[in-house]
Each structure stands twice: as C-alpha cells, then as structure tokens.
Amino acid sequence: MSSPGYGQPTGMGALLRPKLISTLFPRLPRDSHRSYRLALGLGTAAVIVLAALRLFPVALIAAAFLLPLLVALYLVDVNVYEDEPVWALSLTMGWGAVAGVGFGLLALAVAPSAASVIVNGTSQYLVTQGLVLPFCGFFVLLLGPLVLLRYQHFNAVLDGVTFGASTGAAFSGAQAITYSAHLIGAGLRPGGAVLPWVWRLLSLGLGMPIVIMGAAAAACAALWLRYRAPVRDRQALGALGHPAVALTLAGLLVAGAAVGETFLSAGGWLIWLVAFDLVAVSLLRRTIDVGLLEESAATGAGGPSHGSVPETPS
Amino acid sequence: MSILAERASRAPSGGGLGRLVVHVFGFLFLVLIGLSILTNVLAAPVVVVPCTSGQPCGAPPTVPPVIRETAWRSSRYGFSLDYPASVAKVSQQTPSGVVLTVDAGGKNGAVTIQGFATGTTPAEAISDQVGGLGGVSQLAGDTNAAHQLLGAGVGYLAGAGRTYVGDVTSPQGSQPVSIASEAASDGRVTVSATVVGATSDSGTRSDLYAVADLIINSVRWPG
C-alpha cells in the first residue's frame, strides 16, 4: 500500500480542492483511487449511453444504483464493518434504502397532479418537494447511523463519515427509483428528449446523491467528533464541528440543492447541483482531515498507515 | 448514549479488491442493467395494434355520464365550447382561451383550448401551445404508432394533430406525462386543443381522453 502517513500535513488549498473519491471514500488506499475513479467514470458513461439509446427507465435504474454500488464495493473492499457487517450494513445502507423508499412514496403521495403542475406551474411543489421533504428526509436518514454512534466499536470520526455517506447513497438511489416507478411501467423506450434526460439522470444519479452523501457524512463526522473523539479534538472544526451547527448546515445544504429543481431547467439544475457538490465535498474534506489526524494520533506518529490522507493536489 | 468510548487504534484492512474493483463493478453494473431491461420488458404495457384511418376501430371508450353541460365563449375570437361541469372545471381563462382541469374517475388531466388569429396554421398553433406548457420537462414527439391521432380535428373540422411525451419532474424523480394536441381552422380563427395527463391516466381508451374528445368536439365556430 503506497498511501502516505496519517500525519502528513494537508494545506488549506488541498482542503478546498474537491477530490471526490478520496473524500467520499476516505479509508481507501491511494493506489485504489484510480480504480474507483475509473469505475465511476465507466458507470457514468454507461448511464449516458443508455440515455442516448433512449432506454430511459434502464438508465434511471443504472444512475440510481451507480453510487450505492460503488459504496457497497468500498465497504467490502476496505472491510469497514470488520466482523460485524450484517447489522452495521442494515443500519446504514439498509436503513438508507428503507428511508429512501418511504420518502419516495411520501413524495408521490403529496405530489401535485400533472394537470395541477401544468396549470399552476412548479410552485405547486416548491415548498413540499423542494424544501420540506429533502430537509426532513435528510434527518430521517441519519437515524440509522445514529444508532451506530452508541457502539464503541465504531469510535473513529472516519466511521461516522463512512456511515453517513453510505446511508446517503442508498437513500438517494432508493428514493429516485421509488418516485419514478411509473416510468418503469411505461415501457423500455418511453420517449422523450435525450439531452434533458441526460442532465436529469446525471442530477439524480450523481449531483443530488453526492450532496446528500457529503452532507450526511459531514453531519455524522461532527457527531462522532463530539461524542467519540478525544476531548482535545472536539474543537478542531470550530463552530462547524458543533452538532447543532453541522446538522443544520447539512440539512440546509440538501434542501438548497433540491429546491433548485423547482425553478431551473434540467441543465440548470445540474449546474446548480455541481456548485452544491463542491461545497459539500469541501466541507467534508475538512472533517476528514480531522478524522485522519485523530487516527494518526491513535495509531502513533510514524506508525503504519492503513488509511489514506485525502489526495493533495498534484 | 455512551460517550466514554475507549480509544482504539482500529484501521480496516484496505484495498482487498485492488484493481479487481473495476471488473467487479463492471460485472455487477452489467448484471443490474440486464435485470432492469428484463424488468422493463416484463412491466411494459401491452402494445395495442394501432387503428387504420377510415377503418372500424372497435367500440368507443365509455364516457362518464354528462350531468350538466356548461358553456364557455372566447370573447376575443368568438368560438365557444361546452364542458361537463361534473368532471371539468375552469382553472384559468383569458379572452382567447380556457384551461380546464378534468377529473374523470380519478384520472386527472388538463385540457387547454386556445384561439389563434387568422393566418396561424393548425400546425403552428399546436407548436405554439405545446411550447408554452409550463412544468413539462424532456418534451419530445411521441413516436409510438399506437399513440398517433387519427382524423384529428376540432369542432368537427378536420385539422392537424400531434402527440408528445414528457415528464413532470421534482427533486425526487420524474413522472411521465402524455400530451395530445389537435387544431383546426375555419379560415377566420384557428382553435387548438391540448390534453395533458399522467401517462398512466392517458391513452386513446382513457376516460381523460374521452372527456377531452367531448369538449373538443363541442367547439362551435364563430358566426
């Protein structure tokens, strides 16, 4: 494994530069980053090709599973759950999927009819589906990882990051599939304009899930930092490390990302989400840095490295 | 909640899959795509053989009983129409057109009837009206032969007709909608009618389209 030691200083410039794979999968050894980047790139390309072939329902399912599948591979790859995989997986990805299905059904129940949207515009769902459901859904998805906070076995800040990210990925995918279930019943090639579909699929498969994963991971990291980290580390993030601030900020980040859909075009929403992704990933990188330094201290300076420092810019 | 956890140096074993990650991911992703294609094929609606223009096409769809006809008239173009107030109500109106929301047996939709000035062809009227629909994303022409409008017209005047598909979207996902639009002209005014509803509520045999047909056929030309 060629990852550098934990204690390697990470400059502010590196913290602010978003590196998706090393941020969402902080325990991944550096020499595995390329494989994960390649897998993410191939998956994204597959989604675009499926959309170009007008296989929109298939592309939607592929987009919804893209990040959860990668997260599941990561969990197995680095053996995050060690000897307790079943119940820990149930409380993270399992809970995320259940909550995602629940909120997908809830969104279907409160969604205005197509006629109402045509007549009254998207203001019909701005508040409920644009703000309230994403905000509430975010806090509900955190309930699974919160149960794991009680267990001493998972006592590192990076555990919180992993649990939050994996729960967020499963939540996003399950919600998108549940809400769009009618599309699956409309046939293999139901028709529609390709380019807006591509933007929409990238938003639902990457843009929104990354915001949710980043926000959930950052919120969990703050909780783990507060209740699991040594006292000396608890102030490491300043106000951002306080659970009340971190949870509120993360919830607002998710709701802010979601509400853009209600007044932007498909392409506009994707750009909007990229901006929120950058904020979420940058925020998460700061917490990961604290987590890595914490593990460095626990392992002993200069000791063997098992994780990886987020990539420094080359 | 215990906050007195014993600090432990615990680092998961890393990178067990190594470069196999791409292969494993690719395999699982392809399996997933294969399964979703299979699911979509199995869940796809049964394709109805399209009717041929001018040939008998089976029994007409059942129409909800018309309890009360209500009239509406365009003060700008002079055309008028009737709609069954038991299942349709006016949502928006201007001097040149009206938007009716229809709830026929739980199937919801919107019917927009709009007049256009002399010189607007039916095809142009359809493009204008469909292009102005708010809230619909991924809009494109419907290429399914079974969904095409045969003998399109308004108020028993032959004209043009087109069908479209699109989606009503939200941050949570997309829901497909079907759009059928037809227009005709009497030489003085062009009237266009567009029906929009969730795909599951729409179709040639749906109650929504049956009510829309009633309204579109009821259009009376000025003068």
Mutate to test the interface with A, among B170, B196, B215 (most CBs of A within 10 A): B170
Nearest in space to B86 (alpha carbons), one of B107, B99, B70: B70
In this complex, do B171 and A80 lie within 8 Å of one another by their Cβ atoms? Answer: no
At A291 the pLDDT is 79
At A212 the pLDDT is 96
At A271 the pLDDT is 97
Say which of B7, B26, B37 has its CB closest to residue A188.
B37
Q: How confident is the model at residue B2 (pLDDT cuts 50, 70, 90)?
A: very low
Closest chain A C-alpha to B50 CA, distance in angstroms: 17
CA contacts within 13 A on the Cβ side of B3: 9
At B6 the pLDDT is 42
Closest chain A C-alpha to B223 CA, distance in angstroms: 30
At A313 the pLDDT is 33
Rg (alpha carbons) of chain A, rounded to whole number: 19
In this complex, do B171 and A115 lie within 8 Å of one another by their Cβ atoms? Answer: no
What percent of chain B is modeled with pLDDT above 90?
Answer: 48
At A61 the pLDDT is 94
Tokens read off for A205: 């498969």
At B4 the pLDDT is 36
Give B132-151 as a DSSP string: T-SS-EEEEE---GGG--SS
Rounded CA-CA distance A177/A40 in Å is: 19
Residue ranges of chain A whose pLDDT lies below 50? 1-9, 15-16, 301-314
Rounded CA-CA distance B221/B14 in Å is: 76
What lies within 8 Å, CB to CB, of B198 at 6+ separation is: A113, A114, A182, B108, B109, B168, B175, B176, B177, B178
In this complex, do A185 and B177 lie within 8 Å of one another by their Cβ atoms? Answer: no
At B13 the pLDDT is 54
Closest chain A C-alpha to B97 CA, distance in angstroms: 13
In this complex, do A152 and B134 lie within 8 Å of one another by their Cβ atoms? Answer: no
In this complex, do B16 and A78 lie within 8 Å of one another by their Cβ atoms? Answer: yes
Q: Which residues of B touch A298 (CB under 8 A)?
A: 7-9
Closest chain A C-alpha to B132 CA, distance in angstroms: 10
At A140 the pLDDT is 96
B92: closest chain A residue by CA: A119
pLDDT(B174) > 80: yes
Q: Which residues of B touch A261 (CB under 8 A)?
A: 169-171
Mutate to test the interface with B, among A3, A35, A195 (most CBs of B within 10 A): A35
What lies within 8 Å, CB to CB, of B163 at 6+ separation is: B141, B142, B144, B147, B148, B149, B178, B179, B180, B181
pLDDT(B99) > 80: yes
A299: closest chain B residue by CA: B9
pLDDT(B7) > 50: no
Q: Do B135 and A122 form a contact (C-beta atoms < 8 A)?
A: yes
> By three-state DSSP, how is residue A189 classified?
coil
Residue range B194-213, pLDDT digits in tens: 999 988 888 877 888 889 99
Closest chain A C-alpha to B167 CA, distance in angstroms: 8
Mutate to test the interface with B, among A58, A89, A159, A225 (most CBs of B within 10 A): A58
Helix spans in chain B (H): 20-43, 122-131, 207-217
Q: Please state the pTM of the whole predicted model.
A: 0.85
Q: At what angle do helices A133-141 and A157-179 cross, to 10 degrees?
A: 130
Q: Which domains does chain B have, with CATH numbers?
A: 69-217 (2.60.120.1690)
At A49 the pLDDT is 96
Residue range B106-119, pLDDT digits in tens: 888 999 999 999 88
Residue range B61-90, pLDDT digits in tens: 666 555 668 899 999 999 999 999 888 999
In this complex, do A35 and B21 lie within 8 Å of one another by their Cβ atoms? Answer: yes
In this complex, do B36 and A258 lie within 8 Å of one another by their Cβ atoms? Answer: no
Q: Which residues of A touch B134 (CB under 8 A)?
A: 117-118, 121-122
Q: Which residues of A touch B173 (CB under 8 A)?
A: 60, 104, 107, 175-180, 183, 204
